[in-house]
Amino acid sequence: MKLRKVTAASATVLALALSATACGSDSGKESGSGDGGDKITIGIKYDQPGLGLKTPDGFTGFDVDVATYVAKELGYAEDDIEFKETKSADRETALARGDVDFIAATYSITDERKQKVDFAGPYLLAHQDLLIRADDNVSKGDDLNGKKLCSVTGSTSAQNVKAKFAPDAQLQQVGTYSECLNGLQSGAVDALTTDDSILAGYASQEQYKGKFKLAGLKLSNENYGIGVKKGDKEMVDKINAALEKMVQDKSWDKAVKDNFGPANYKNEPAPKIGNIVK
Amino acid sequence: MFDFLEGYDLLGAFWVTVKLTIFSAIGSLVLGTVLAAMRVSPVPLMRTFGMVYVNVVRNIPLTVIIVFSSLGLADVFGMTLGAADDFEVKYFRLAVFGLAAYTAAFVCEAVRSGINTVPVGQAEAARAIGLSFTQVLSHVVLPQAFRSVVGPLTNVLIALTKNTTVAAAIGVAEAALVMKEMIENEAQLVLISAIFAFGFVVLTLPTGLILGWVGKRVAVKR
């Protein structure tokens, strides 16, 4: 008897919940109100402070600023932009399937990726670097082989350490850079290594201010580009024009200052479109 | 089509997977059997401990356990399992520790179900000839119990094989980690995933078939 009551009650709740969602789920699908009111979907990272971060009050970061500027140049108001998370492994698939119109998510231009997608840009030249404790020092030419380094599992930076810079170094690989910072604070590792732009973003966070700094080693060249579906030449040209304009009217410099502020980060001057530094 | 495989040590990666599986399987079999013995022992404190361990560990996601082994036990409390300065060994051992601790809960439940298949008369007869609880368990009950749980333990072992991929989260260079590297470099998501899925089928399918046959052979005919 009792069981039957519970079942009936939960069925009622379920039915209510379903009808409630049914009412609320067909919003946001209204067609454009004429003046270029279509939506544009842009792939970004959600978990990289300084580049692409989802916060309770919206999205912040350099990639987000660049994406917003480019979308504006393409004729989309800020309300018409829909940001979508594209994790590193999903980026090519998301473009090929048309889930997103373009991707600005720390997307380094490489020959392998060029076979799958087209790139506009580059819009930022980053280098692999080390983030160290503020009272520590590592200078150019120091041997990294005796160091304990930390990076994200499977990332290009982690592979570079193993294959190029310091094959004998102790390398801890974890899921997210935040986990590395934990070990860096406690002294379990000496340095966190990845692109300096990403490191600067982490070091600029409120809770880490003044604790870490960049070593400034320039271990590699990472040319961040904007990924576009393969063969969409028109889109690439439009985005390139937008990026050029962004550099000219100084919005680019402002975006760099806003996002990579206080971490001893010396950014490279804005790269020339189509000029990929190997 | 497959020329991008050059430069990756696929076999080496799967060998690490196999090593993780074997060490964790041995560890969890020992710990799980001890836990099962505790859960059927006459001492209330032991019974409670076994029950609490199983119910707590079984309900924590494996990723949380593995990441905690690395960030909590190693980084914060300095538990390095005798490999402080060799990260590769250290994280491998931590992964085995986490996997064994987690899988032990499932082994314990499988073994306990096996103990329940042994007729009560067996244990009573063993008590009657003056054997202690430990002797009853080790000479009479457990040998029969194990023979009836080869099937369930095979399931646990196959799950463990696939669970070793979680060790990539703390940087153990097993199959899943090399897969991540390849996807990062080669931009060939579907093909690479298929190759690794196939690799795991090659590992687990024979395991299932062989142990299924063994289980049939040794089962107690009642």
pLDDT in tens, A24-63: 433 343 343 334 458 999 999 998 888 999 999 999 999 9
Cβ–Cβ contact B184 with A under 8 A: yes
- Closest CA of chain A from B88, distance in Å: 8
Nearest-Cα residue of chain A relative to residue B182: A154
**Cα–Cα distances in angstroms (integers) from residue B12 to residues A84, A108, A157, B45, B71, in the given order:** 36, 28, 21, 45, 26
Q: Which pLDDT band, with edges at 50, 70 and 90, does A19 fall under?
A: very low
In this predicted structure, the answer to whether residue A155 has a pLDDT above a threshold of 70 is yes
- Closest CA of chain A from B75, distance in Å: 6
Element (H, E) at B147: helix B142-148
Query: Among partner residues B67, B75, B180, which is closest to A186 by beta-carbon distance?
Result: B75
CB-CB under 8 Å, B75 with A153: no
**Contacts of residue A60, Cβ cutoff 8 Å, sequence gap at least 6:** A49, A53, A259
The greatest distance separating any two alpha carbons of chain A, rounded to the nearest whole angstrom, comes to 78
**pLDDT (tens digit per residue) in B51-64:** 999 999 999 999 99
Element (H, E) at A126: strand A117-126
Domain assignments of chain B as residue spans, ordered by start = 3-218
CB-CB under 8 Å, B74 with A175: no
Cβ–Cβ contact B187 with A under 8 A: yes
Q: Is residue A247 part of a domain?
A: yes
Q: Is residue A9 part of a domain?
A: no
Q: How many domains does chain A have?
A: 2
What pLDDT score does B87 carry?
A: 85
- Give A186's contacts in chain B (Cβ within 8 Å): 75-76
CB-CB under 8 Å, A174 with B87: no
Q: Is residue A271 part of a domain?
A: no
CB-CB under 8 Å, B177 with A173: yes
Query: Among partner residues A113, A117, A154, which is closest to B177 by beta-carbon distance?
Result: A154
Query: A51 with A114, same domain?
Result: yes
CB-CB under 8 Å, A188 with B171: no
- Exposure string of A16-29, with b = 16+ CB inside 10 Å and e = fewer, is eeeeeeeeeeeeee
Bridge pairing between strands A117-126 and A222-229? antiparallel
Any idea which of A2-6, B37-41, B116-120, B158-162 has the lowest mean pLDDT? Answer: A2-6
Is the preceding peptide bond at A122 cis, omega within 30 degrees of 0?
yes
Residue in this structure with the two tokens 């463990």, named with its chain if needed: B160
Structure tokens at B179: 């897969």
In this predicted structure, the answer to whether residue A177 has a pLDDT above a threshold of 90 is no
- Give A155's contacts in chain B (Cβ within 8 Å): 184
**pLDDT (tens digit per residue) in B151-181:** 999 999 999 999 999 999 888 988 998 998 8
Query: Among partner residues A89, A116, A172, which is closest to B171 by beta-carbon distance?
Result: A172
Superfamily of domain B3-218: MetI-like (1.10.3720.10)
Query: A85 with A134, same domain?
Result: no
Q: Rounded CA gap, B222 and A53, in Å?
A: 63
Among A220, A237, A272, give the residue marking a domain's end: A220
What mean pLDDT is predicted for residues A246-262? Answer: 88
Q: What angle do CA A103, A104, A107 make, to 5 degrees?
A: 95
Q: Which of A136, A262, A257, A238 is nearest to A190 (CA)?
A: A136
Query: A132 with A80, same domain?
Result: no
- Give B179's contacts in chain A (Cβ within 8 Å): 154
* Domain range for A172: 127-220
In this predicted structure, the answer to whether residue B101 has a pLDDT above a threshold of 80 is yes
How many inter-chain contacts (A to B, CB under 8 Å) are there? Answer: 73
Say whether pTM exceeds 0.75.
Answer: yes
Structure tokens at B107: 């082994």
CB-CB under 8 Å, A170 with B177: no
Question: Which of A97, A110, A152, A170 to probe by mutation at the B interface, max B CB count within 10 Å?
Answer: A170
Q: Is residue A89 part of a domain?
A: yes
Q: Rounded CA gap, A71 and A79, in Å?
A: 11
Element (H, E) at A68: helix A62-73
